[in-house]
Structures are given as structure tokens and as C-alpha cells.
Chains A and B, each alone.
Chain A
């Protein structure tokens, strides 16, 4: 059953929360703990049917949700990480990369593609949290920067889906510079009058929040996603008090004026396309 195997790889649920049964794979909702059948889960775009919790998914699932018939051309698929700092912590960086590659089947923490979304040509970049916490090093930075360039060169709208713990420590200041790199490209895209929508998903923190994720013409988010610059643990330690309920969640950010709207995953595709068509001043055919 290769189909279920892929599901198992892609859903970010702890092993103990998964159960193989004769009916297929069952996954426990991380929020309400109810058992969800994987086939049904895929149909509901990986949103829990009981509590509406949006499960963490990766580029493969987002591309499938967005691109018409899941048809797209992946950009820079073969780009892999170097080891510019010869970084060693508890293990050498190249080993960490290699084990993440074999564990996830991904080459790094972001994938970029171009294809039609409800017939609209679109560049989509999506981060993968499974790959070293979705951290941004040179590969993530370069791939997203090139995706922005692709949108500019081909006059297409750009959607970037963020899900990241921030800049990747193992590439030091080079990771930091990826923030400047992508932000510079976003500035150039804006000068061409091409729209950029940034979708922030659970979790988006650190250097990703402090760069391209907050630079969309529209900044939008999935419900209840953790979004912030500093992580909640660091803030708690700094101020020495408990954080209020709902702090740094999508609804909190919208309330404080940093998100244009919050979108349920079932409406994501249609609302993003509609937003782009409006921003691109296209005539939107009214459905009967």
C-alpha cells in the first residue's frame, strides 16, 4: 500500500499517535486526540473533522491542495546544502543534512514550484518543517529568492507558505543573510507591481517572520498558527511571567494588525486565487 506509506511519511504525527489497522492508517488528532482515518483526512485537507484543528503538513500536501490536478513544475529540485562553516555540534552538519534527507525524502526545508491554480499561473514556495525544523539556510534562501525571481521574470503572482523555526544555526551569518536576500528580491517584485501573498502556518518564528513572511502585499494565516519573532519560551524567560492565552496565535496577530485575514484550509485555494485576481485587476467571472 504505497499510498498509505506516503501518508505516513508526510503527516507530522508522532509514531505513537499512529496506528495501522486493517482499514488503513489511523492518526490521532494532536488537539482533540480523536482517531482520524487517513483517507478522510486527506479529503478534508488534513483538518480534523471533530475539532477543526489544522494538522501540520508539508510542501507535498500544500502543492496537492493548490495546484490543479497536482500538476506543477518543480524549480531547483536538486539544490542541496553545502557546509560553509564546517559546523559541528553534537554531530557534523553534513551528517545532520544526510539523515534529514533520508528521513524525509526532501533535499532541504523548502520546495518551489510553478503551475496553474484554478487556471491562474502561479509561483508557490513552501517550507517543510520536517526538515531540521523548517530552518532557513542557504538552500532555503536561494530557492525562495529564485522563486521570487521566477515570478518577476514571468510576471506571475507569488505565494509563499511559511512554516519554520527561523534561520538555521549551522550556517551562521550566512543563514541570517538569506533574510536580506529574499527581502531584496521581494522589494524588486513589488516594484514590478506583481502581487505577493505570504501564508503563515503553524509555526512561523524567528528570521522567517522577520523577513519574507511579513512582507506580503497580503499576510494571511491558517487558524491558530503560532506566529512570532521570538519564541514563547524565550519571551517567558525574559519577562519572567506566564504568557496570556492565545498569545502569538493567528487570531492575536490579526487583532494587533499584522494579518490581513485568517483562512480555513478548505477555502485556501479559492480565496488566494480570488485575492490575486483582484490584486491583478482581472475580471472575475461570477459563478451562477
Chain B
């Protein structure tokens, strides 16, 4: 593992692993049997890993969700589909490299897969605009969804974005309108939609492909109204409170499950999806197959009714009127003038 891709909280594990490798190397060099000392150390490492990775705080989860070795949308597509035909363009302005999509089969079942795409190398990252779509990205996504609806294909959305691109041209081309339209169209799209947050789920840029019959998050991802750094800069007027902001925002998979924003958490291998991507691919595929079966059995009217109910039920407000302020003002004014 490249040392710069190690988080501070993982350092104790790396230290012991280095020790273990050293012990193994010496044993090999001297052709001696690896004694109980090594198996003891292996056990210690296993326990330490379990201990560290099962007690991650929210900011640490955010860090894992952004790990540069984490599988991205096209990695999932390559591993969970049998065939994939990538489709480009929004038929209007251009093709957005930060939003990919196309037709695929999963265990023989045709689906439309759409997702935000990040890059790994500096060049790729720029090519993918760091996974931040422009309006044409959302319009491309909608074009593919409408096509899926027309031909009765379920839609799979893979969410992984630090946000919709906040650029000058994005505003000129209607970033807000593009996302808004997707929310409205997805709410009533006449085909099943499954959404999975595979990395970062930042605000409207994530929700723009996030209205579905089932919404999941991978174990080490985040989904909220704002990134913790931006939240910190607005509320604390400094970038330094990002850890506190992450805690306050309650942005993890567990938090969002509790708030009923998602339907379930998809397990990752210990330490994150990048530690053993095959496991992450398998778990995601299994979840998709399970839901496709259930959702395809529903009548489309029922499907949409449930989807609308799911999103319109979200939120928390109080109507007991216990802490009423002074709404009399308006009433008094009305009667005054009548």
C-alpha cells in the first residue's frame, strides 16, 4: 500500500503489518519455521483491525469514502455486469465525462446504469471534472432514464460526487433547472429505480440521480446536504471544524438509515471497499439482483405510489402547537381590515 494513501487512524495497523512482514522475511531468509510469534502477531493485527474499523467516527468514514483507490462507477459496472454498452451525450449540448451511463445486463437482465465518475490519476481526475457534473450530465442521465422507461428497463444509479459543478457556464446552462427536472421526472418515472451511494453523496448534485424506489449506501460513504468542510466554513467561519461538522451533520450510512433516508446499508470489506473490491462488487450485485426481483413484481402504479410516499414522508416537524409564537399578527391584521 502506498504510504500516502494511509490514514492516521490506520497507522497502528500498518506498523504491525510491517513488523509481521519483517518477521516473515527473516524466517524465509534463515529457512526457519514461522513460530507461534507470527501467528500471535497475525491475530493481534486482525483484532486491531476489527477494533479500529468498527469504531470509525464520522469524519473517518468521510475520509474512507474519498480514498483514491476506492472503486468508482465504471469499476462496479465492469465487475457486476455481463455486457455494457456505454451511451454518450445529452442530445443537446455535449457529453459530460463526470456522468457516465449506458445499457448493461446483470445476470442476463437488461438495465440502464448511470453514475457519477471520478478519475484516479491527475489527468483522469481533470477529465472527469473530479466527479462534478455540469447540467448536461444531469440531462444525459435523464435522457437515459427516459429511454429506460420507454423500453421497460430498470434504472440503477451509482452516486459518487463531491457536488454538482459550481461553475460560471454551469449556471449559464441552468444547473439548478437540470437537477430540479431530474427530481421531478424521477419521482414519476415508470420503471424501477435503485440508487446506491458508492462514495460521496454531496447535496443536490447527488440527489439529482438519487430519487429511487430503493436507496442504499455502502458502509463507508456519506450523504448529506453539504460537505463537512463547506459546512464548517459557513457555520464556524473556518475550515478547521470539519470533524465537528461531520459529527453534527449525521451523514453516515447508519445515520441516514436511522433517519429513514435510505433503505439499507451495503457491507464493505473490513477497512473499506478498496481493501477488497471483489467483496464490494459482490455485495452490490447481490443487493441489486434481490431488489430487481421484488420491484419488477410490482405494478408500475404501485411502484410510483410507493416511491412518492417514501420521499414525501421524509422530515420532522411538530404540529402540536406547544411552542406557538405569535401567528395572531396576521389574523388580527386581516380582521382589522375586513
Residues of A within 8 Å of B184, CB to CB, are 183-184, 186-187, 190, 215
Q: How far is the CB of A51 from chain B (nearest CB, A)?
A: 26
Inter-chain contact B180/A70, CB cutoff 8 Å: no
- B165 cross-chain contacts in A, Cβ below 8 A: 238
Q: Beyond A89-B235, A247-B168, A258-B177, is A178–B315 a contact (Cβ under 8 Å)? A: yes
Q: Contact: A174 with B261, CB < 8 Å?
A: yes
- A145 x B180 contact (CB < 8 A): no
Contact flag A176-B224 (CB < 8 Å), given A85-B248, A145-B312, A214-B177: yes
| Size bracket of the B interface | 35 or more
Residues of A within 8 A of B261 (CB): 173-174, 177
CB of A139 within 8 Å of the partner chain: yes
Any A CB within 8 A of the CB of B72: no
Q: Is the CB of A211 within 8 A of B168?
A: no
Contact with B along A154-172 (1 / 0, CB 8 A): 0000000000000111011
In the complex, B280 has a CB within 8 A of chain A: no
B238-266 with Cβ < 8 A to chain A: 245, 248-251, 255-256, 259, 261
Q: Are B204 and A84 in contact (CB under 8 A)?
A: no
Give A47 to B241 CA distance when docked, in angstroms. 41
Task: Report which residue of B164, B225, B327, B330 has the largest number of chain A beta carbons within 10 angstroms of its beta carbon.
Answer: B225
Q: A87-B248, A187-B185 are in contact. Are A211 and B180 (CB under 8 A)?
A: yes
Closest CB in chain B relative to A104 CB, distance in Å: 8
| B193-211 at interface with A (beta carbon < 8 Å) | 203-204, 207-208, 210-211
- A213-B168 Cα distance, complex, nearest whole Å: 20
Query: Is B3 interfacial (CB-CB < 8 Å)?
Result: no
Give 1 or 0 for each of A248-288: 1 = CB within 8 Å of chain B CB: 10000000111000000000000000000000000000000
Q: Is B43's beta carbon under 8 Å from chain A? A: no
In the complex with contacts A88-B248, A107-B325, A174-B259, A184-B334 CB distance below 8 A: no
In the complex, which residues 207-239 of chain B have their Cβ closer than 8 Å to any Cβ of chain A? 207-208, 210-211, 223-226, 231, 234-236
Alpha-carbon distance A258/B135, docked complex (angstroms): 13
Does B172 lie at the interface of the complex (its beta carbon under 8 Å from any beta carbon of A)?
A: yes
| Interface 9-mer from A16-24, A25-33, A35-43, A202-210 | A202-210
Report how far A89 CA is from B231 CA in the complex, Å. 10
CB contacts under 8 Å to B, within A227-245, are 228-230, 234-235, 238-239, 243
Is the CB–CB distance between A71 and B334 below 8 Å? Answer: yes
Chain B window 174-197, contacts with chain A (Cβ cutoff 8 Å), 1 for yes, 0 for no: 111101110111011000000000
Contact present for A173 and B256 (CB under 8 Å): yes
Q: For residue A115, which residue of chain B has the nearest CB?
A: B334
Supposing A141-B315, A186-B184 touch, asked if A173 and B259 sit within 8 A by C-beta, the answer is yes
Tell me the complex Cα distance, A145–B315, Å.
Answer: 11
With A180-B311, A214-B174 already in contact, the answer to whether A138 and B180 are too (CB < 8 A) is no
Smallest CB–CB gap between A79 and chain B, Å?
A: 5
Complex formed: what's the CA distance from A88 to B245 in Å? 9
Q: Is the CB of B312 within 8 A of A184?
A: yes
Please, which residues of chain B bring their CB within 8 A of the CB of A6? 329, 333
A-B contact count (CB 8 A): 230
A: which residues have CB within 8 A of B?
A: 6, 60, 63, 69-72, 74, 76-85, 87-90, 98, 101-102, 105-107, 137-139, 141-142, 145, 167-169, 171-181, 183-188, 190-191, 206-207, 209-215, 228-230, 234-235, 238-239, 243, 247-248, 256-258
One of A63, A81, A173, A187 near B188 (C-beta < 8 A): A187
Return 12 A-B CB contacts under 8 Å, by A number. A70-B333, A70-B337, A78-B324, A80-B323, A81-B317, A171-B315, A181-B314, A183-B183, A183-B211, A191-B188, A210-B176, A247-B168
Nearest-neighbour CB distance to chain A for B170, whole angstroms, equals 7
B180 touching A175 by the CB < 8 A rule?
Answer: no
A87 surroundings in chain B (CB, below 8 A): 248-250
Cα–Cα, bound, A161→B329 (Å) = 21
Q: Which residues of B contact A (CB under 8 A)?
A: 164-168, 170-177, 179-181, 183-185, 187-188, 203-204, 207-208, 210-211, 223-226, 231, 234-236, 245, 248-251, 255-256, 259, 261, 307-308, 311-312, 314-319, 321, 323-327, 329-331, 333-334, 337-338
Contact B180 A176 (CB under 8 A): no
Report the Cα distance A175→B204, complex, angstroms: 10
Partner of A173, one of B173, B223, B327: B223
Option from B167, B204, B235 in Cβ contact (under 8 Å) with A210: B204
Option from A72, A82, A137, A228 in Cβ contact (under 8 Å) with B318: A82
Most B-side CB within 10 Å, residue of A83, A85, A137, A177 = A177
Point out the residues of chain B lying under 8 angstroms from A71, CB to CB: 334, 338
**Within the assembled complex, what's the spacing in Å between the Cα atoms of A79 and B325?**
10
Chain B residues near A107: list those with CB within 8 A: 324-325, 327
Determine how close the nearest CB of chain B comes to the CB of A143; give it in whole angstroms: 8
Whole-angstrom distance from the CB of B225 to the nearest CB of chain A? 4
